[in-house]
A and B are shown apart, each in its own frame.
Chain A
Amino acid sequence: MTPRPHTPSQTVGPFFGYALPFPGGGDIAPAGHADTITLHGHVHDGAGQPVPDAIIEIWQADPRGSLSGAPGSMRRDPVTGRGIGRDGVEFTGFGRVPTDADGHWAARTLAPGPHHDGAVPYLSLAVFARGLLHHLFTRVYLPEHADALARDPSLATLTPERRATLLARRERDALYRFDIRLQGEDETVFLDFPYAPRPLGDVRG
Protein backbone atom coordinates (compact mmCIF):
# COMPACT_ATOMS: atom_id res chain seq x y z
CA MET A 1 0.00 0.00 0.00
CA THR A 2 1.29 3.44 -0.84
CA PRO A 3 1.54 5.49 2.35
CA ARG A 4 -0.43 8.71 2.46
CA PRO A 5 1.63 11.83 1.96
CA HIS A 6 2.16 13.42 5.34
CA THR A 7 1.66 16.97 6.54
CA PRO A 8 4.89 19.01 6.37
CA SER A 9 6.58 20.47 9.42
CA GLN A 10 6.82 24.22 10.06
CA THR A 11 8.86 26.09 12.63
CA VAL A 12 7.56 26.45 16.19
CA GLY A 13 8.39 30.17 15.79
CA PRO A 14 9.30 32.58 18.58
CA PHE A 15 5.93 32.94 20.35
CA PHE A 16 5.11 29.48 21.73
CA GLY A 17 5.97 30.57 25.25
CA TYR A 18 2.43 31.31 26.44
CA ALA A 19 1.12 28.06 24.95
CA LEU A 20 3.42 25.04 25.06
CA PRO A 21 5.26 25.24 28.41
CA PHE A 22 3.24 23.99 31.37
CA PRO A 23 3.77 24.03 35.16
CA GLY A 24 6.03 21.20 36.27
CA GLY A 25 6.99 20.44 32.67
CA GLY A 26 10.50 19.47 33.78
CA ASP A 27 9.39 17.62 36.95
CA ILE A 28 9.09 14.16 35.46
CA ALA A 29 10.17 12.33 38.61
CA PRO A 30 7.45 11.86 41.24
CA ALA A 31 7.75 14.52 43.90
CA GLY A 32 10.54 13.84 46.40
CA HIS A 33 11.60 10.55 44.81
CA ALA A 34 14.94 9.46 46.27
CA ASP A 35 16.35 8.40 42.89
CA THR A 36 15.66 11.71 41.15
CA ILE A 37 18.35 12.85 38.75
CA THR A 38 18.67 16.33 37.27
CA LEU A 39 19.50 16.63 33.62
CA HIS A 40 20.40 20.08 32.33
CA GLY A 41 22.32 21.92 29.66
CA HIS A 42 22.48 24.73 27.18
CA VAL A 43 21.33 24.92 23.59
CA HIS A 44 23.80 26.72 21.32
CA ASP A 45 23.63 27.75 17.69
CA GLY A 46 26.37 27.57 15.04
CA ALA A 47 27.76 30.95 16.11
CA GLY A 48 28.15 29.68 19.67
CA GLN A 49 25.28 31.85 20.87
CA PRO A 50 22.72 30.53 23.35
CA VAL A 51 19.30 29.74 21.88
CA PRO A 52 16.76 31.40 24.17
CA ASP A 53 13.70 30.36 22.17
CA ALA A 54 14.03 26.59 22.01
CA ILE A 55 11.76 24.07 23.68
CA ILE A 56 12.83 20.55 24.50
CA GLU A 57 10.64 17.51 24.94
CA ILE A 58 11.67 14.33 26.70
CA TRP A 59 10.19 10.85 26.29
CA GLN A 60 11.59 7.90 28.20
CA ALA A 61 10.96 4.55 29.83
CA ASP A 62 10.43 4.37 33.57
CA PRO A 63 13.15 2.79 35.75
CA ARG A 64 11.73 -0.68 35.06
CA GLY A 65 11.87 -0.12 31.31
CA SER A 66 8.14 0.38 30.74
CA LEU A 67 7.27 2.55 27.77
CA SER A 68 3.53 2.65 28.37
CA GLY A 69 3.68 6.13 29.93
CA ALA A 70 0.74 7.59 31.82
CA PRO A 71 -1.54 10.58 31.38
CA GLY A 72 -1.28 13.57 33.67
CA SER A 73 1.84 15.40 32.50
CA MET A 74 -0.20 18.58 31.94
CA ARG A 75 -2.90 18.26 34.60
CA ARG A 76 -5.33 21.15 34.72
CA ASP A 77 -7.45 22.52 37.50
CA PRO A 78 -11.04 21.94 36.39
CA VAL A 79 -12.14 24.97 38.44
CA THR A 80 -9.81 27.61 37.02
CA GLY A 81 -8.43 25.83 33.96
CA ARG A 82 -4.88 26.56 35.11
CA GLY A 83 -2.07 24.05 35.00
CA ILE A 84 -1.54 22.44 38.40
CA GLY A 85 1.41 20.16 37.71
CA ARG A 86 1.56 16.38 37.97
CA ASP A 87 -0.08 14.41 40.75
CA GLY A 88 3.34 13.63 42.29
CA VAL A 89 2.69 9.88 42.07
CA GLU A 90 2.44 8.75 38.46
CA PHE A 91 5.51 8.59 36.22
CA THR A 92 4.29 9.85 32.84
CA GLY A 93 7.64 9.52 31.03
CA PHE A 94 7.07 12.86 29.29
CA GLY A 95 8.54 16.28 29.96
CA ARG A 96 8.69 19.62 28.19
CA VAL A 97 10.98 22.53 29.08
CA PRO A 98 11.64 25.81 27.28
CA THR A 99 15.14 27.27 27.33
CA ASP A 100 15.60 30.42 29.40
CA ALA A 101 17.08 33.72 28.19
CA ASP A 102 20.54 32.14 28.48
CA GLY A 103 19.61 29.08 26.44
CA HIS A 104 19.55 26.85 29.53
CA TRP A 105 17.10 24.06 30.35
CA ALA A 106 16.74 21.56 33.19
CA ALA A 107 14.58 18.56 33.98
CA ARG A 108 14.29 16.29 37.01
CA THR A 109 13.54 12.68 36.26
CA LEU A 110 14.34 9.05 37.03
CA ALA A 111 16.97 7.17 35.05
CA PRO A 112 15.24 4.99 32.44
CA GLY A 113 15.56 1.21 32.62
CA PRO A 114 16.32 -1.05 29.63
CA HIS A 115 13.16 -1.23 27.50
CA HIS A 116 13.87 -4.82 26.46
CA ASP A 117 16.43 -7.46 27.33
CA GLY A 118 19.86 -6.18 26.42
CA ALA A 119 18.66 -2.69 25.48
CA VAL A 120 20.81 0.30 26.36
CA PRO A 121 18.56 2.78 28.18
CA TYR A 122 18.31 6.35 26.97
CA LEU A 123 16.06 9.38 27.00
CA SER A 124 14.67 10.55 23.68
CA LEU A 125 14.76 14.31 23.09
CA ALA A 126 12.92 16.42 20.53
CA VAL A 127 14.30 19.94 20.01
CA PHE A 128 12.10 22.72 18.63
CA ALA A 129 13.23 26.31 18.07
CA ARG A 130 12.62 29.44 16.09
CA GLY A 131 14.77 29.05 12.99
CA LEU A 132 14.31 25.28 12.93
CA LEU A 133 11.84 24.47 10.16
CA HIS A 134 11.67 20.86 11.29
CA HIS A 135 12.39 19.74 14.83
CA LEU A 136 15.36 17.51 15.68
CA PHE A 137 15.57 14.22 17.55
CA THR A 138 18.51 13.25 19.68
CA ARG A 139 19.15 10.94 22.64
CA VAL A 140 20.67 11.26 26.07
CA TYR A 141 22.69 8.28 27.27
CA LEU A 142 23.96 8.30 30.83
CA PRO A 143 27.75 7.94 31.23
CA GLU A 144 27.51 4.53 32.90
CA HIS A 145 26.21 3.16 29.55
CA ALA A 146 29.05 4.59 27.43
CA ASP A 147 30.53 1.18 26.61
CA ALA A 148 27.20 -0.33 25.65
CA LEU A 149 26.40 2.71 23.50
CA ALA A 150 29.55 2.06 21.46
CA ARG A 151 28.05 -1.31 20.49
CA ASP A 152 24.63 0.05 19.46
CA PRO A 153 24.21 -0.93 15.78
CA SER A 154 22.19 2.21 14.96
CA LEU A 155 25.07 4.39 16.00
CA ALA A 156 27.98 2.13 15.00
CA THR A 157 28.93 4.27 12.00
CA LEU A 158 29.65 7.29 14.18
CA THR A 159 33.14 8.26 15.21
CA PRO A 160 33.74 8.07 18.98
CA GLU A 161 33.87 11.89 19.07
CA ARG A 162 30.46 12.26 17.46
CA ARG A 163 28.96 9.47 19.53
CA ALA A 164 30.17 11.28 22.65
CA THR A 165 27.74 14.13 21.90
CA LEU A 166 24.97 11.75 22.99
CA LEU A 167 26.51 11.13 26.39
CA ALA A 168 25.51 13.15 29.41
CA ARG A 169 28.40 14.13 31.67
CA ARG A 170 28.11 13.57 35.42
CA GLU A 171 28.81 16.86 37.20
CA ARG A 172 28.18 15.53 40.67
CA ASP A 173 25.90 12.97 42.26
CA ALA A 174 22.61 12.83 40.40
CA LEU A 175 23.43 15.94 38.34
CA TYR A 176 24.07 15.40 34.63
CA ARG A 177 24.97 17.87 31.92
CA PHE A 178 23.78 17.52 28.33
CA ASP A 179 24.46 20.42 25.97
CA ILE A 180 22.89 20.61 22.53
CA ARG A 181 24.85 22.22 19.69
CA LEU A 182 22.65 22.75 16.69
CA GLN A 183 25.53 23.41 14.31
CA GLY A 184 29.29 23.56 14.01
CA GLU A 185 32.14 21.92 15.86
CA ASP A 186 30.88 19.34 18.33
CA GLU A 187 27.51 19.43 16.59
CA THR A 188 25.14 17.11 18.42
CA VAL A 189 24.22 13.89 16.62
CA PHE A 190 20.61 14.09 15.45
CA LEU A 191 18.50 11.14 14.41
CA ASP A 192 15.96 10.39 11.74
CA PHE A 193 13.24 7.71 11.75
CA PRO A 194 12.43 6.63 8.20
CA TYR A 195 8.76 5.82 7.79
CA ALA A 196 9.18 2.21 6.70
CA PRO A 197 11.71 -0.45 7.63
CA ARG A 198 12.32 -0.86 3.89
CA PRO A 199 12.80 2.01 1.45
CA LEU A 200 9.46 2.86 -0.14
CA GLY A 201 10.80 4.69 -3.15
CA ASP A 202 9.23 7.96 -4.14
CA VAL A 203 5.97 8.44 -2.27
CA ARG A 204 5.44 11.93 -3.61
CA GLY A 205 1.70 12.60 -3.70
Chain B
Amino acid sequence: MTTHALPEGLSQQEIDAEIAKAQTASHPPHHPPRDYPPYRSSHFRHPKQPPIPVRDPEAVELTGPVFGVTDVTTLDHDLTRQHQGEPLGERITVSGRVLDRAGRPVRHQLVELWQANASGRYAHQLDQHRAPLDPNFTGFGRCLTGDDGSYSFTTIKPGAYPWRNHVNAWRPAHIHFSLFGTAFNQRLVTQMYFPGDPLFPYDPVLRAVTDHAARERLVAAYDHERSVPEWSLGYRWDVVLDGPAATLFEPGSRPAEEEVR
Protein backbone atom coordinates (compact mmCIF):
# COMPACT_ATOMS: atom_id res chain seq x y z
CA MET B 1 0.00 0.00 0.00
CA THR B 2 1.26 3.43 -0.85
CA THR B 3 1.30 5.93 1.94
CA HIS B 4 1.80 9.58 1.33
CA ALA B 5 3.31 10.69 4.61
CA LEU B 6 2.46 14.30 5.18
CA PRO B 7 5.35 16.60 5.97
CA GLU B 8 5.66 17.76 9.51
CA GLY B 9 5.02 21.40 9.72
CA LEU B 10 2.81 24.32 9.14
CA SER B 11 -0.56 24.47 7.46
CA GLN B 12 -1.22 26.63 4.41
CA GLN B 13 -3.10 29.04 6.71
CA GLU B 14 -0.06 29.43 8.93
CA ILE B 15 2.15 30.01 5.89
CA ASP B 16 -0.37 32.54 4.56
CA ALA B 17 -0.09 34.45 7.85
CA GLU B 18 3.71 34.46 7.58
CA ILE B 19 3.48 35.69 3.98
CA ALA B 20 1.20 38.52 5.12
CA LYS B 21 3.62 39.43 7.90
CA ALA B 22 6.63 39.44 5.56
CA GLN B 23 4.61 41.56 3.14
CA THR B 24 4.45 44.40 5.69
CA ALA B 25 8.15 44.24 6.54
CA SER B 26 10.40 46.60 4.63
CA HIS B 27 12.36 44.82 1.94
CA PRO B 28 14.12 45.98 -1.16
CA PRO B 29 11.16 46.00 -3.52
CA HIS B 30 12.41 43.94 -6.44
CA HIS B 31 14.63 41.00 -5.51
CA PRO B 32 13.24 38.72 -2.81
CA PRO B 33 14.77 39.06 0.67
CA ARG B 34 17.13 36.18 1.38
CA ASP B 35 15.60 35.88 4.83
CA TYR B 36 12.01 34.94 4.09
CA PRO B 37 10.45 32.78 6.84
CA PRO B 38 7.55 31.37 4.75
CA TYR B 39 10.17 29.64 2.56
CA ARG B 40 11.44 27.23 5.20
CA SER B 41 14.71 26.34 3.43
CA SER B 42 15.87 29.96 3.66
CA HIS B 43 16.11 29.72 7.46
CA PHE B 44 19.68 28.44 7.77
CA ARG B 45 20.81 29.51 4.33
CA HIS B 46 20.64 33.31 4.39
CA PRO B 47 23.52 35.46 5.63
CA LYS B 48 22.80 37.52 8.75
CA GLN B 49 25.33 40.20 7.79
CA PRO B 50 24.35 42.72 5.12
CA PRO B 51 26.28 42.39 1.85
CA ILE B 52 29.18 44.79 1.34
CA PRO B 53 28.46 47.22 -1.51
CA VAL B 54 31.24 47.36 -4.11
CA ARG B 55 31.43 50.47 -6.29
CA ASP B 56 34.89 49.89 -7.77
CA PRO B 57 34.55 50.77 -11.48
CA GLU B 58 37.34 48.32 -12.27
CA ALA B 59 35.93 45.36 -10.38
CA VAL B 60 36.33 41.99 -12.10
CA GLU B 61 32.57 41.45 -11.67
CA LEU B 62 31.82 44.24 -14.18
CA THR B 63 33.01 41.90 -16.91
CA GLY B 64 31.82 38.36 -17.44
CA PRO B 65 32.18 35.06 -19.24
CA VAL B 66 31.44 34.72 -22.93
CA PHE B 67 29.84 31.83 -24.77
CA GLY B 68 29.77 30.87 -28.42
CA VAL B 69 28.67 28.41 -31.07
CA THR B 70 30.68 25.59 -29.51
CA ASP B 71 28.67 25.87 -26.28
CA VAL B 72 25.25 25.15 -27.77
CA THR B 73 23.95 22.85 -30.45
CA THR B 74 21.26 23.85 -32.92
CA LEU B 75 18.76 21.52 -31.22
CA ASP B 76 19.29 22.77 -27.68
CA HIS B 77 16.50 25.34 -27.86
CA ASP B 78 13.91 22.65 -28.68
CA LEU B 79 13.17 20.49 -25.64
CA THR B 80 10.65 18.43 -27.62
CA ARG B 81 13.33 17.00 -29.94
CA GLN B 82 15.83 15.54 -27.53
CA HIS B 83 14.48 11.98 -27.59
CA GLN B 84 13.11 9.42 -30.05
CA GLY B 85 9.49 10.36 -29.52
CA GLU B 86 7.41 13.41 -28.75
CA PRO B 87 6.97 14.35 -25.10
CA LEU B 88 3.51 14.37 -23.56
CA GLY B 89 1.92 17.69 -22.78
CA GLU B 90 0.88 20.98 -24.25
CA ARG B 91 3.51 22.17 -26.75
CA ILE B 92 4.51 25.79 -26.21
CA THR B 93 7.09 28.31 -27.32
CA VAL B 94 8.58 30.74 -24.83
CA SER B 95 10.34 33.69 -26.40
CA GLY B 96 11.36 37.21 -25.56
CA ARG B 97 14.30 39.55 -25.21
CA VAL B 98 17.05 39.94 -22.63
CA LEU B 99 17.84 43.59 -21.87
CA ASP B 100 19.92 45.49 -19.35
CA ARG B 101 18.44 48.22 -17.19
CA ALA B 102 19.38 50.86 -19.74
CA GLY B 103 17.22 48.97 -22.24
CA ARG B 104 20.14 47.71 -24.31
CA PRO B 105 19.86 44.19 -25.71
CA VAL B 106 22.12 41.60 -24.11
CA ARG B 107 23.65 40.08 -27.23
CA HIS B 108 25.06 36.59 -27.81
CA GLN B 109 24.76 35.57 -24.21
CA LEU B 110 23.77 32.24 -22.74
CA VAL B 111 20.20 31.47 -21.65
CA GLU B 112 19.57 28.11 -19.96
CA LEU B 113 16.26 26.69 -18.84
CA TRP B 114 15.08 23.61 -16.96
CA GLN B 115 11.70 22.40 -15.88
CA ALA B 116 9.44 19.57 -14.75
CA ASN B 117 7.55 17.50 -17.32
CA ALA B 118 3.85 17.87 -18.07
CA SER B 119 2.99 15.82 -14.98
CA GLY B 120 5.07 17.95 -12.65
CA ARG B 121 8.05 15.59 -12.31
CA TYR B 122 11.72 16.45 -12.76
CA ALA B 123 14.19 14.08 -14.39
CA HIS B 124 16.12 14.05 -11.11
CA GLN B 125 16.29 11.01 -8.85
CA LEU B 126 15.65 13.07 -5.72
CA ASP B 127 12.28 14.16 -7.11
CA GLN B 128 10.02 11.55 -5.54
CA HIS B 129 6.69 13.07 -6.55
CA ARG B 130 4.45 10.16 -7.62
CA ALA B 131 3.90 11.50 -11.11
CA PRO B 132 5.14 9.67 -14.21
CA LEU B 133 8.49 10.35 -15.77
CA ASP B 134 8.32 10.95 -19.52
CA PRO B 135 10.94 8.95 -21.46
CA ASN B 136 10.70 11.56 -24.21
CA PHE B 137 11.35 14.57 -22.04
CA THR B 138 14.40 15.63 -20.04
CA GLY B 139 13.49 19.27 -19.57
CA PHE B 140 16.74 21.12 -20.17
CA GLY B 141 17.58 23.60 -22.93
CA ARG B 142 20.01 26.35 -23.86
CA CYS B 143 20.42 29.03 -26.48
CA LEU B 144 22.43 32.15 -27.23
CA THR B 145 20.60 35.45 -27.52
CA GLY B 146 20.50 37.14 -30.93
CA ASP B 147 21.70 40.60 -31.98
CA ASP B 148 18.54 42.10 -30.52
CA GLY B 149 18.81 40.13 -27.26
CA SER B 150 16.09 37.71 -28.40
CA TYR B 151 15.77 34.09 -27.35
CA SER B 152 13.24 31.37 -28.12
CA PHE B 153 12.54 27.89 -26.76
CA THR B 154 10.11 25.19 -27.79
CA THR B 155 9.01 22.97 -24.92
CA ILE B 156 5.91 21.63 -23.20
CA LYS B 157 4.01 23.32 -20.42
CA PRO B 158 5.30 21.97 -17.10
CA GLY B 159 2.89 20.66 -14.48
CA ALA B 160 2.42 22.00 -10.97
CA TYR B 161 3.99 19.83 -8.29
CA PRO B 162 3.83 19.34 -4.51
CA TRP B 163 6.78 20.11 -2.27
CA ARG B 164 7.33 19.77 1.43
CA ASN B 165 7.65 23.36 2.53
CA HIS B 166 4.44 22.97 4.51
CA VAL B 167 1.34 20.76 4.48
CA ASN B 168 -0.35 20.84 1.06
CA ALA B 169 2.34 23.02 -0.50
CA TRP B 170 2.17 23.17 -4.32
CA ARG B 171 4.42 25.04 -6.69
CA PRO B 172 2.61 26.83 -9.53
CA ALA B 173 3.80 25.67 -12.97
CA HIS B 174 7.13 27.35 -13.69
CA ILE B 175 10.24 27.18 -15.82
CA HIS B 176 13.64 27.79 -14.22
CA PHE B 177 15.81 30.24 -16.17
CA SER B 178 19.52 31.06 -15.92
CA LEU B 179 20.83 34.16 -17.72
CA PHE B 180 24.18 35.88 -18.22
CA GLY B 181 24.72 39.56 -18.93
CA THR B 182 27.88 41.20 -20.16
CA ALA B 183 28.94 41.56 -16.52
CA PHE B 184 29.11 38.72 -14.01
CA ASN B 185 27.22 40.80 -11.46
CA GLN B 186 24.24 40.84 -13.87
CA ARG B 187 23.90 37.09 -13.43
CA LEU B 188 20.30 36.04 -12.90
CA VAL B 189 18.69 32.75 -11.96
CA THR B 190 14.95 32.98 -11.72
CA GLN B 191 11.64 31.27 -12.54
CA MET B 192 9.03 32.10 -15.16
CA TYR B 193 5.35 31.50 -14.40
CA PHE B 194 2.21 31.15 -16.53
CA PRO B 195 -0.56 33.74 -16.50
CA GLY B 196 -3.60 33.22 -14.29
CA ASP B 197 -2.25 30.32 -12.25
CA PRO B 198 -4.57 29.79 -9.25
CA LEU B 199 -1.61 28.70 -7.09
CA PHE B 200 0.09 32.12 -7.09
CA PRO B 201 -1.34 33.34 -3.76
CA TYR B 202 -0.24 30.18 -1.94
CA ASP B 203 3.35 29.96 -3.15
CA PRO B 204 6.03 31.31 -0.77
CA VAL B 205 8.71 31.29 -3.49
CA LEU B 206 6.80 33.64 -5.79
CA ARG B 207 5.39 35.65 -2.87
CA ALA B 208 8.95 36.23 -1.63
CA VAL B 209 8.99 38.95 -4.27
CA THR B 210 6.91 41.24 -2.10
CA ASP B 211 6.32 43.98 -4.70
CA HIS B 212 3.27 43.19 -6.83
CA ALA B 213 4.60 44.83 -10.01
CA ALA B 214 7.92 43.03 -9.62
CA ARG B 215 6.10 39.72 -9.15
CA GLU B 216 4.17 40.36 -12.36
CA ARG B 217 7.46 40.56 -14.21
CA LEU B 218 7.98 36.86 -13.48
CA VAL B 219 4.75 35.97 -15.28
CA ALA B 220 4.85 35.36 -19.04
CA ALA B 221 2.12 36.76 -21.28
CA TYR B 222 0.11 34.53 -23.57
CA ASP B 223 0.76 35.96 -27.05
CA HIS B 224 -1.63 34.73 -29.73
CA GLU B 225 0.60 36.18 -32.45
CA ARG B 226 3.31 33.78 -31.34
CA SER B 227 1.08 30.71 -31.36
CA VAL B 228 1.70 28.51 -34.38
CA PRO B 229 -1.49 27.11 -36.03
CA GLU B 230 -1.97 23.38 -35.47
CA TRP B 231 1.30 23.29 -33.50
CA SER B 232 2.06 25.34 -30.38
CA LEU B 233 0.88 28.03 -28.00
CA GLY B 234 3.06 31.12 -27.69
CA TYR B 235 4.21 32.82 -24.51
CA ARG B 236 6.24 36.01 -24.36
CA TRP B 237 8.59 36.82 -21.50
CA ASP B 238 11.16 39.62 -21.50
CA VAL B 239 13.95 39.71 -18.95
CA VAL B 240 15.74 42.78 -17.58
CA LEU B 241 19.06 42.07 -15.88
CA ASP B 242 20.00 44.02 -12.77
CA GLY B 243 23.46 45.34 -11.99
CA PRO B 244 26.05 47.61 -13.54
CA ALA B 245 28.19 46.64 -16.51
CA ALA B 246 31.59 48.02 -17.39
CA THR B 247 30.11 50.04 -20.26
CA LEU B 248 28.15 52.20 -17.80
CA PHE B 249 31.38 53.84 -16.71
CA GLU B 250 33.77 56.18 -18.45
CA PRO B 251 35.56 54.38 -21.29
CA GLY B 252 38.97 55.09 -19.71
CA SER B 253 38.02 53.27 -16.54
CA ARG B 254 37.22 49.95 -18.16
CA PRO B 255 39.51 47.01 -17.63
CA ALA B 256 41.87 47.09 -20.60
CA GLU B 257 41.09 43.59 -21.81
CA GLU B 258 41.44 44.47 -25.50
CA GLU B 259 45.01 45.57 -25.00
CA VAL B 260 45.96 42.50 -23.05
CA ARG B 261 44.67 39.93 -25.49
Minimum Cβ distance to chain B for residue A29 (Å): 15
From B30, B46, B63, contact of A8 by CB (8 A):
B30
How many contacting A-B pairs (Cβ < 8 A)?
A: 276
- Nearest Cβ on chain B to A48's Cβ, whole angstroms: 9
In B121-150, the 8 Å CB interface with A consists of 122-124, 126-127, 138-140, 142
Given the complex of chains A and B, what is the CA–CA distance between A3 and B49 in angstroms? 28
Give the docked Cα–Cα distance between A47 and B51 (Å). 20
Query: A15-B114, A154-B54 known; A197 and B45 CB under 8 Å?
Result: no
A1 part of interface (Cβ distance < 8 Å): yes
Separation of A116 and B69 alpha carbons in the complex (Å)? 30
Q: Is the CB of B66 within 8 A of A19?
A: no
Q: Which of B76, B99, B101, B255 contacts A67 (CB 8 A)?
A: B255
How long is the Cα–Cα vector from A128 to B41 in the complex, in angstroms?
A: 13
Q: Is there a chain B Cβ closer than 8 Å to A160's Cβ?
A: no
Please tell me if B242 contacts chain A, counting CB pairs below 8 Å.
Answer: yes
Task: For B35, give the chain A residue with the smallest CB separation.
Answer: A133
Is there an interface contact between B71 and A71, defined as CB atoms closer than 8 Å?
Answer: yes
State which residues 206-257 of B face A: CB under 8 Å: 206, 208-209, 211, 213-215, 217-218, 239-244, 248-249, 255-257
Closest chain-A Cβ to B233's Cβ sits at a distance in Å of 22
Q: A7-B188, A8-B209 are in contact. Are A197 and B138 (CB under 8 A)?
A: no
Minimum C-beta distance from A90 to chain B (A): 10
Q: With A and B bound together, what is the CA distance between A124 and B59 in angstroms? A: 10
In the complex where A9-B32, A11-B205, A71-B68 touch, is A45 in contact with B214 (Cβ < 8 A)?
Answer: no
Q: Is there contact, CB below 8 Å, between A59 and B82?
A: no
**Chain B contacts for A46, CB-based, 8 A:** 43-46, 48
Docked Cα-Cα span, A153 to B58, in Å, equals 12
Chain B residues, Cβ within 8 Å of A128: 189
How many angstroms from the CA of A162 to the CA of B138 in the assembled complex?
43
Looking at the complex, which one of A57, A71, A87 makes contact with B187 (CB distance below 8 Å)? A57
The majority secondary structure among interface residues of chain B is loop
Q: Which residues of B contact A93 (CB under 8 A)?
A: 65
**Chain A CB within 8 A of B103 CB:** yes
If A3-B101, A81-B75, A192-B53 touch, whether A10 touches B241 (CB-CB below 8 Å) is: no
B105 CB–A CB distance under 8 Å: no
17 pairs from A and B in contact (CB 8 Å cutoff): A4-B99, A5-B214, A6-B30, A8-B215, A8-B218, A13-B176, A16-B114, A47-B44, A74-B72, A81-B82, A130-B45, A132-B34, A155-B52, A183-B45, A195-B242, A196-B244, A197-B57
The residues of A with any CB-CB pair to B shorter than 8 Å are: 1, 3-20, 45-47, 49, 51, 57, 59-61, 64-76, 78, 81, 87, 92-94, 112, 115-116, 119, 122, 124, 126, 128-137, 153-155, 157-158, 162, 182-184, 187-197, 204-205
